[in-house]
Amino acid sequence: MTENETHKADVTVTETTDVKFVGPATAAVIDDASFGVEAIQNRTVSYEMLREAGVNPGVAGRLRREHSLSWSFESGNDLTDRSTQVRGLQDEERAWIAASSGDWERETPETATTDGSGEAEAEEAAWRDRSSPDPVTDVPEIDDRLADELAEAGITSVRSLAIANPERVADSLSFERNRVTK
């Protein structure tokens, strides 16, 4: 939680109009709604709920941005509604957002693994094996003791050893320069 969010959570609201962007007209609407001003502070109300309660669209938008409220707690038309609210979108962008709000998430993605099994765990394990750096002990001249000394200088992989400045490594580890360049 950021310092700003912590500060907002610590503020005690005694009146509905104490909430930023809530004037007398909006306060009357919120007081008549099924939720209270605490719901805005606790983020248990959405933009859609504010609108359904009768809050002005501009005020509901300001409250949503100020308090990081969700557009809606229901899935479905959320992207379509949001695309109409976002400023600066061209017609083609709005159409793309509307087309993206369908049930594309429910489609089964094609699975591809390196071992051909189709299992996500096998794919992740193969990726981890490929992406882990080669330890400096893979270099024949480097034993575990020397690898520990190099680690003190931040050299923990063959790649970091290859790009290290030999003079700086020698200085930081108090090695002789010819020992490092060897």
| Of 35-44, 101-110, 142-151, minimum mean pLDDT range | 101-110
143 pLDDT higher than 50 = yes
Is residue 164 situated within a structural domain?
Answer: yes
E strand or H helix at 85: helix 78-85
How confident is the model at residue 56, as a pLDDT? 92
Q: What is the CATH number of the domain that holds 151?
A: 1.10.150
Distances in whole angstroms, Cα of residue 5 to Cα of each of 14, 39, 71, 180: 19, 15, 19, 51
Looking at the structure of the chain, the number of domains it has is 2
Q: Report the pLDDT value the prediction gives residue 6, as an integer from 0 to 100.
A: 46
The residue range of the domain holding 164 is 113-182
Query: What percent of the chain has a predicted confidence (pLDDT) above 90?
Result: 16
| Domain membership flag for residue 144 | yes
User: Exposed, middle or buried, 37 (CB in 10 Å: 0-12/13-18/19+)?
Assistant: buried
3-state secondary structure of 126: helix
Q: What is the pLDDT of residue 51?
A: 92
Q: Is residue 94 part of a domain?
A: no
Same-domain check for residues 122 and 63:
no
pLDDT for 133 equals 81
Q: Is residue 150 part of a domain?
A: yes
Shared-domain flag, residues 59 and 117: no
DSSP 34: S
Is 170 contained in some domain? yes
For residues 61-80, average pLDDT: 78
**Residue 22 CA neighbour count, 13 Å, CB half:** 25
Q: Is residue 177 part of a domain?
A: yes
Q: Please tell me whether the overall predicted TM-score, pTM, comes out greater than 0.85 for this model.
A: no
The pLDDT of residue 173: 84
pLDDT of residue 151: 87
- What count of residues does the chain have? 182
Greater pLDDT, 113 or 128 = 128
Burial of 122 (0-12, 13-18, 19+ CB in 10 A): middle
